Amino acid sequence: MDIVISDILNVPLSPMELVCPAGNLPALRAAIDNGADAVYIGFRNNTNARNFPGLNFSANEVASGVAYAGERGKKVFLAINTYPYPHYWQESIETIDTAADLGVDVMILADIGLMEYASTHHPYLRLHLSVQGSATNRHAIDFYYRNFGIKRAVVPRVLSLTQVRRLIKASPVEIEVFGYGSLCVMVEGRCSLSSYVTGKSPNSAGVCSPAEAVRWVEGSNSRDVYLNNVLINRYHEGEPAAYPTLCKGRFEVDGEVFHSLEEPASLNVLEILPQLVRSGAAAIKVEGRQRSRAYVARVTRTLRAALDTCLQDPERFQASQEWVAALNEMSEGTCHTLGAYDRPWQ
Amino acid sequence: MKISIGPIQYFWPRKQVFDFYDKMRDSAADIFYLGETVCSKRRELKLEDWLEIAERLSDSGKEVVLSTLTLLEAESEQGVLKRIVTNGRYKVEANDMAAVRLLTANSGHLQNPAFVAGHSINIYNGQTLNYLAARGASRWVVPAEHDQKAITALQQARPDGMETELLVFGRLPLAFSARCFSARAARRPKDDCGFVCRQDAGGKTLMTQDHNPFLVLNGIQIQSAATQNLLWHADEISEMGIDIARISPQIEGMQKIIATARGIFDGELGKESGLSAISRFQAHGGCDGYWRKTAGMDAMEPNRLIG
């Protein structure tokens, strides 16, 4: 990892928000109780990019969540980050209206049409550009800033640490970066792999590699996993099996079978936390609205402790074994990576 | 129906690119999209070279559009983008919102240049389409995963003067990443990729473990292994008022594919005989699932699409 002068000089630190996921009310409470500055949630409909069965919030639950967070000085971000086709348009704008009425602190949007609607109908509502908006550079972010007055952009998991730093300097708005969780290896908002195989994608349906398309087949000495009849992975005896996300399967290229796109590892920025804090990132985001309350509680607690320690004395910050172990245990494939932040990964 | 040739997705040597467009000058294609849209490290051709090709195609009566990069991260990439956007002569296809931002720099009394919103600009509803139209978009390329019903609804919502372009023949652009998959397959780091993607003029095929061609690795881009072929649906495409049928460049059979598409859209060529004549140019078969609102990889009429 390269070192820049601002990492060494004693530049005052801006507080970096810890933004945690919640798929239901208990998870939201767990995130707040364990130190999240903000929790992001979605409605239980087609309007968000984690539209899994049994997940997400009704209007009443959003109201309870907003009250719970508000009483403790914390925030609730509402994500409406699918791209609505015309037949979902009405549902999407009604969801925006409802969320605005319920007093959510922030609306996270990706679609240009919805951005226009929200910024004209709810001019005082704070807007963040979703990671699904695929904005990886200052001009793209500037488009949403100039036209819709966004206050923050969540950047796709494709930039190196150096690129993140430069973007934060050049961006007209705050930048939120991913810190922990499943690693999306593609530019979010520009990946149709899931719909190519199953007909459903994050953009259109809020799902990736949906569970209903997954089929496990037990062989004599292997377990095969299919996504809509495409063989995604083949596990041999004793091999741990992960959720069959399409891009984390094993395929054959030039006669060799390997994780051709990405290993099933989790993103974890613990070891570059001081650099991220120094970079001026406004917030660090945890992936995983589909995760359990216990997962959210443990990840939030660990990252809160790490972030507090880092903010006190970034020069001497060292990731404790306890944090590393806790986060690794929660990881996909129980290992972690810096992903695109680390240039050699690319 | 106009026929367009999308930007070359693969990394072809300079001479091959010049030869390709030289041969295209007397083809039945009407519109050409020029430029590197996948990887900024591919610098066989400079902007000046693309402009030279543009000039020759223009002289042959073709419309030329300059296409921009899909994933912009470095400042240097944005410098090139600025030069394309301000070229002053040719229309620009924006493949990232950065290009849209630069193309819509003027607000108020100054007119923005007309531009094309490329397939990676996420236009999923009429509000988005109209918003961009009001800022200068005069044409949009339908994103890969839209189905016929959604496209029909968008056609009804489109403002006057907006043209719609649809990929009717070619591998689907499915994903982009920071990671270079061609370099990864060659066990090379991206920063020392050795331009391995140049060795595969049609990308590198990724197979499932039961040996079915599934995807194609093309640098930081992932394509379908199957060729999307919507020519079987040519009548519906015409009836819906789609203006431009796009063909994505490939090494094999371009002249024949263009002539077939022209013949089918003009009603001078039977779909059955036309499609079976070009089925051999679909290296790993055809697909039309997105159009029919099913998995994109599906093919309704395997015998007809694949031949």
Q: Which of the residues B37, B119, B124 would you substitute to probe the A interface, choosing the one with the greatest number of A C-beta atoms within 10 Å? A: B124
Pair (A154, A41) in one structural domain: yes
C-beta atoms of B101 and A143 within 8 A: yes
Q: Quick check: is B72 in a domain?
A: yes
| Cβ(B26)–Cβ(B217) below 8 Å | no
Tens of pLDDT, residues B127-149: 999 999 999 999 999 999 999 99
Q: Which amino acid is at A158?
A: V
pLDDT for residue A10 is more than 80: no
C-beta atoms of B97 and A83 within 8 A: no
Q: How far apart are CA B17 and CA B26, in angstroms?
A: 16
Pair (A127, A33) in one structural domain: yes
A42-51, A240-249, B1-10, B143-152: which has the minimum mean pLDDT? A42-51
Pair (A176, A208) in one structural domain: no
pLDDT for residue A335 is more than 90: no
Q: How far apart are CA A181 and CA A184, in angstroms?
A: 9
| Total number of residues shown for chain A | 346
Give the residue from B119, B122, B170, B121 showing the smallest Cα distance to B8.
Answer: B170
Distance to chain B for A186, nearest Cα, Å: 4
Distance to chain B for A76, nearest Cα, Å: 26
Q: How far apart are CA A321 and CA A106, in angstroms?
A: 35
Question: How many domains are contained in chain A?
Answer: 2
| Cβ(B181)–Cβ(B196) below 8 Å | no
Q: Which residue from B73, B102, B143 is facing A163, i.e. has the nearest CB?
A: B73
* Residues 6 or more apart in contact with residue A218 via CB below 8 angstroms: none
C-beta atoms of A192 and B217 within 8 A: no
C-beta atoms of B294 and A199 within 8 A: yes
State residue B115's pLDDT score: 97
Give the residue from B32, B36, B52 showing the smallest Cα distance to B44.
Answer: B36
Q: How far apart are CA A206 and CA A80, in angstroms?
A: 10
State residue A207's pLDDT score: 86
Task: Tell me what the pLDDT averaged over chain B comes to.
Answer: 94
Distance to chain B for A242, nearest Cα, Å: 17
Q: Which residue from B132, B150, B209 is facing A112, i.e. has the nearest CB?
A: B132
| Cβ(A345)–Cβ(B179) below 8 Å | yes
Q: Which residue from A85, A192, A234 is facing B144, i.e. has the nearest CB?
A: A192
C-beta atoms of A344 and B98 within 8 A: no
Tens of pLDDT, residues A64-74: 999 999 999 99
Decide which of A238, A258, A278 is a domain's last residue: A258
State residue A225's pLDDT score: 96
pLDDT for residue A60 is more than 60: yes
Residue A309, SS3? helix
State residue A5's pLDDT score: 46
C-beta atoms of A160 and B178 within 8 A: yes
Tens of pLDDT, residues B173-226: 999 998 999 999 999 999 999 999 999 999 999 999 999 999 999 999 999 999
C-beta atoms of A187 and B176 within 8 A: yes
Q: Quick check: is A106 in a domain?
A: yes
Q: Quick check: is B194 in a domain?
A: no
Q: What is the CATH number of the domain that holds A325?
A: 3.20.20.70
Q: Which residue from B98, B124, B175 is facing A193, i.e. has the nearest CB?
A: B175
Pair (A304, A171) in one structural domain: yes
Domain span holding position A325: 5-183+265-345
At A157, list the tokens: 């998991």
Q: Which of the residues B86, B112, B179 would you substitute to probe the A interface, choosing the one with the greatest number of A C-beta atoms within 10 Å? A: B179
C-beta atoms of B97 and A87 within 8 A: no
Distance to chain B for A304, nearest Cα, Å: 29
Pair (A294, A311) in one structural domain: yes
C-beta atoms of A203 and B176 within 8 A: no
State residue A116's pLDDT score: 98
| A146 touching B (Cβ < 8 Å) | yes
Q: Which residue has the tokens 């939120």?
A: A176
Q: What residues of A are in contact with residue B131 (Cβ under 8 Å)? A: 112-113, 116
Q: Quick check: is B208 in a domain?
A: no
Q: Which residue from B101, B204, B290 is facing A140, i.e. has the nearest CB?
A: B101
Tens of pLDDT, residues B27-55: 999 999 999 999 999 999 999 999 999 99
Domain span holding position B261: 2-171+227-281
Q: Which residue from B77, B177, B217 is facing A253, i.e. has the nearest CB?
A: B217
Pair (A106, A240) in one structural domain: no
Pair (A117, A250) in one structural domain: no
Q: What is the CATH number of the domain that holds B90?
A: 3.20.20.110
Q: Which amino acid is at A258?
A: F
Pair (A174, A216) in one structural domain: no
Average pLDDT over residues A304-317: 91
Burial pattern A216-248, b for ≥16 Cβ within 10 A else e, equals eeeeeeeebbbbbebbbbbbeeeeeebebbbbb
Band of pLDDT at residue A14, cut at 50, 70 and 90: low
Q: What residues of B are in contact with residue A233 (Cβ under 8 Å)? A: 209
Decide which of A258, A277, A294 is a domain's last residue: A258
Question: How many domains are contained in chain B?
Answer: 1
Q: Quick check: is B199 in a domain?
A: no
Task: Return residues 228-287 of B near A (CB < 8 Å).
Answer: none
| B144 touching A (Cβ < 8 Å) | yes
A128-132, B111-115, B186-190: which has the minimum mean pLDDT? B111-115
| B300 touching A (Cβ < 8 Å) | no
State residue A65's pLDDT score: 97
Tens of pLDDT, residues B56-100: 999 999 999 999 999 998 888 888 999 999 999 999 999 999 999
Band of pLDDT at residue A330, cut at 50, 70 and 90: confident
State residue A13's pLDDT score: 53
C-beta atoms of B176 and A199 within 8 A: no
C-beta atoms of B181 and A252 within 8 A: no
Pair (A93, A225) in one structural domain: no
Pair (A201, A69) in one structural domain: no
C-beta atoms of B124 and A204 within 8 A: yes
The string of DSSP codes covering A82-113 is S---GGGHHHHHHHHHHHHHHT-SEEEE--HH
* Residues 6 or more apart in contact with residue A73 via CB below 8 angstroms: none
Q: Which of the residues B69, B120, B128, B180 would you substitute to probe the A interface, choosing the one with the greatest number of A C-beta atoms within 10 Å? A: B128
* Chain CA centroid to CA B288, Å: 16
Q: Quick check: is B49 in a domain?
A: yes
C-beta atoms of B125 and A340 within 8 A: no
| B289 touching A (Cβ < 8 Å) | yes
Band of pLDDT at residue B290, cut at 50, 70 and 90: very high
Decide which of A230, A258, A286 is a domain's last residue: A258
Task: Return residues 167-186 of B near A (CB < 8 Å).
Answer: 172, 174-181, 184-185
| B105 touching A (Cβ < 8 Å) | no
Average pLDDT over residues A298-303: 96
Pair (A246, A269) in one structural domain: no
| Cβ(A167)–Cβ(A173) below 8 Å | no
Average pLDDT over residues A230-235: 96
| B152 touching A (Cβ < 8 Å) | no
Task: Tell me what the pLDDT averaged over chain A comes to.
Answer: 90
At B201, list the tokens: 């003029």
Q: Quick check: is B47 in a domain?
A: yes
Pair (A144, A42) in one structural domain: yes
- Give the Cβ contact number of residue B186 at 10 Å: 16
Tens of pLDDT, residues A164-203: 999 999 999 999 999 999 888 899 999 999 999 999 999 9
State residue A11's pLDDT score: 46
Tens of pLDDT, residues A96-125: 999 999 999 999 999 999 999 999 999 999
Average pLDDT over residues A56-64: 94
Q: Quick check: is A109 in a domain?
A: yes
Q: Quick check: is A188 in a domain?
A: no
